[in-house]
Amino acid sequence: MNNPLSRRTFLATGAAAGVTAVGAANSPLAGAHGPDHGHGKGPVPEPPKAPSATGGGGAVSSVDPYASQIGLKVLRSGGNAADAAIAMAAALGVTEPYSCGIGGGGFFVFHDARTGRVSTINGRETAPSSYDEKVFTDESGEALDFDTVVTSGASVGVPGTALTWAVAAKKFGTRRLDKLLEPGEDLARRGFIVDENFRRQTSNNADRLAKFTASAELFLPGGKPPEVGDTFRNHDLADTYRLLRRRGVEEFYRGSIARAIVDEVRNPTTVEGVSVLKSTMTRDDVRRYTAPVQRATHSRYRGFDVYGMDVPSSGGIAVGEILNLLEEYEESTGTPISKLSEVDWLHRLSEACATAFADRNRWVGDVPTVPVRELLDQRFARERADLFDPDRAQPRPIPFGSPDGDYDDEPDPGKGQGEPYEGPSTTHLNAVDRWGNVVSYTLTIEQSAGSGITLPGYGFLLNNELTDFNFVPLTEGVPDPNLPGPSKRPRSSMSPTILRDGRHPVLTCGTPGGATIITSVAQIVVGHVERDLPLVDAIAAPRLSSRNGTESGDLGLVDSATGQGLTDLGHKLTSTTWTGNASGIAIGRRGTLDAAAETVRGGGGSALVVKPRR
């Protein structure tokens, strides 16, 4: 190995600063896959960031300018939307490692312009086959401390992202996976410029990262987070991408990476004096992982077909029910959403979201008995809309409904249930190509920095996805579909969404934000479709997220006149720093594309089109 520096990472601050070697050259991949092609080049310059772009020929949008620029290059060179999405996701694994990466999972929604079919890939992580309903409880049956489980090997599910990429490339793409990983490899090796968002996330997770040797070496060189303007390089991740390019994802699920994952979660490599919970994951658990292609959920809103992610996500179901409820509220009041004041519109949204969450928490999980069709039935929404009062917020928690297919008689009264916790750190991207193919893709490692465990020598964080299970039943005496189980996938709120007018796609959108994903996506869809907001404005709008518990206003809503109006209606608002970091693309009938991303949240996003309108 000719590189005198660490193969793991190094940081250089400013043009005049020296280079600090971090860690030893102990990567199992170091020097094994040819010369370090990125070494000797400077860092990849940060591309310009813009929250909106209009034009044609294809478009991308995401949280990150590096990822969006890579996706744009794929489209310009003749790749399709699936190709661009995979390359973007690999880049996000470099620049957004606390939100996503090959140590996690996600949901990939694809509209095929040729066949008119909308398909999805279920890349959600799975629990070890040894896990049962009581795995996260103590001897007395009480739930284990949540934070203790998060930062441990016990929280790690078998990752699904690498196989999701392989399936997407084979089923929907036009290029080999090894070519699509090449830009991400180059970015990891050459490095990117640290921004305030990256530094803040590192600082927020510093105590957790410091517990694990590989995480501390990678993300806290010299014992502290990088500074804004530093160059961050991850040679181990670059070598891992190269390994996947040369040997395929079999290496991840059957080869050296699989062995490393199992060894690490069963016996996490912590610093001296630190002990964390261990997993019982086996090589067979990793080897048996699948990322199945599934049918999308389907509902209707304002004449549009709405497609989303089915179980184990609750996203497609809950977003669809919210939109159904909003239509029923309009039917019962006679006033369309487009004619409402901001207060009254957000009141309706809040009531619909809380009602849908009551049903989601009771009925949705990775079990074979989820009544998906009934939850998305307009008649069920009509029955649930009977609770709505246009002048007053319903008491929380709202009782869950009975999606039993019988909507003529008085429904059986359900119980009000509390709101389970779901980590907010995720990412979303969109791609549309010149042929009309569309991708909406949300991926995650769950909480910011996942489990906190970086796989030694491989440069990526492992997820804490299994804490998305409910540790104990949400309500005593009520069946809970989201308890842990052998090889089970935890429920998710990720809501990658595509709207179509007949066979013509009109919108793709999604966002990170844990359980707030569902409420944010519904608000963006209605804001753009019904409130006639340009997509970038629908994304940037203040958000109200009501999940059948505490409601939270974002970006000044609490202290605004709108916030006071909602309070007067009985809503209890709490201020949050930000809710999600959304992105999307609106697609016009004549091929005009309006790509959009956040203007402020998370430092803003990046939207690009192949042929910008002059």
Catalytic residues: 426
Rounded Cα–Cα distance for residues 332 and 328 (Å): 6
Give the H/E segment covering residue 452: none
Only one residue has tokens 């997770």, namely 205
With contact defined as beta carbons under 8 Å apart, do 414 and 401 qualify?
A: yes
Is the CB of residue 108 less than 8 Å from the CB of residue 120?
Answer: yes
What value, to the nearest 5°, has the Cα angle with vertex 286 and ends 235 and 130? 130
What HEC string does 261-298 produce? HHHHHHCCCECCCCCCCCCCCCHHHHHCCCCCEEECEE
State the distance between the two ends of the chain, measured CA to CA, in whole angstroms. Answer: 49
d(CA 475, CA 434): 50
Contact 427, 88 (CB under 8 A): no
Strand partners, 137: 143
User: Is the Cβ–Cβ distance between 24 and 9 less than 8 Å?
Assistant: no
216 sits in which H/E element: helix 213-219
Close Cβ partners of 263 (under 8 Å, ≥ 6 residues apart) = none
Report the distance separating Cα 35 and Cα 2, nearest Å. Answer: 8
Return d(Cα 600, Cα 581) in angstroms, integer: 9
* DSSP-based three-state secondary structure for 313: strand
CA 566 – CA 393 distance, rounded (Å): 9
52 membership: H or E segment, kind and range: strand 52-62
Helices 81-95/65-76 angle, 10° precision? 150
Running DSSP on this structure, what letter comes out for residue 399? B
Q: Say how far apart CA 59 and CA 606 lie, in whole Å.
A: 11
CA distances from 163 to 118, 288, 520, 543 (A): 19, 12, 28, 34
Residues found in the chain: 614
- Nearest residue to 494 (alpha-carbon basis) of 447, 579, 576, 428: 428
Question: Using CA atoms, how far apart are residues 52 and 540, in angstroms rounded to an integer?
Answer: 11
DSSP string, 169-215: HHHT-SS-HHHHHHHHHHHHHH-EE--HHHHHHHHHTHHHHTTBHHH
* Helix (H/G/I), strand (E/B), else coil: 577: coil
Distance CA 291, CA 81 (A): 19
In three-state secondary structure terms, 440 is strand
- Separation CA 415–CA 56 (nearest Å): 50
Kindly tell me the sign of the dihedral angle through the C-alpha atoms of 100, 103, 104, 108: positive
Phi–psi pair at 281, nearest 5 degrees: -60, 145
CA distance linking residue 230 with residue 191, whole number of Å = 9
